[in-house]
């Protein structure tokens, strides 16, 4: 997504129920998203930053190490981040899925 950063797209599957090679139903990708959220719509699969909805997630710090709830982190937002229409950040505990 952003060069040198650890952001990844949160939605990793296609709504058409098939994988690009048409040989599987993307079980791992769907399970990953279900752990994040319950619902899904075509509008949630955005890939163009600044247009529509784009869901990103990060599980690693700037050095590429897994985030640790016992540590403090600083998140820097780029000066020209596309926040004109809407922008938010939510933090969750990975074990309980609670904020």
Who wins on pLDDT, 64 or 59? 64
pTM: 0.48
Determine contact, residues 98/92, Cβ cutoff 8 Å. yes
Note the pLDDT tens digit of each residue in 9-58.
666 556 565 556 666 566 666 666 665 665 566 666 666 766 667 777 78
Contacts of 62 (CB under 8 A, 6+ apart): 5, 6
Q: Which domains does the chain have, with CATH numbers?
A: 1-62+73-94 (2.60.120.600)
Contacts of 36 (CB under 8 A, 6+ apart): 10, 57
Please give the structure tokens belonging to residue 37: 């959220």
Element at 17 (helix H, strand E) = none
């Amino acid at each position: 997504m952003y060069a040198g950063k650890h952001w990844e797209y949160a939605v990793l599957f296609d709504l058409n129920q098939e994988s690009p090679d048409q040989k599987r139903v993307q079980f791992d990708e769907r399970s990953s998203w279900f752990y994040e959220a319950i619902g899904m719509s075509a509008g949630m699969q955005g890939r163009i930053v600044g247009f529509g909805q784009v869901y990103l997630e990060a599980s690693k710090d700037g050095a590429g190490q897994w985030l640790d709830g016992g540590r403090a982190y600083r998140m820097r937002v780029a000066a020209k981040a596309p926040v004109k229409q809407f922008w938010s950040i939510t933090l969750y505990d990975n074990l309980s899925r609670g904020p």
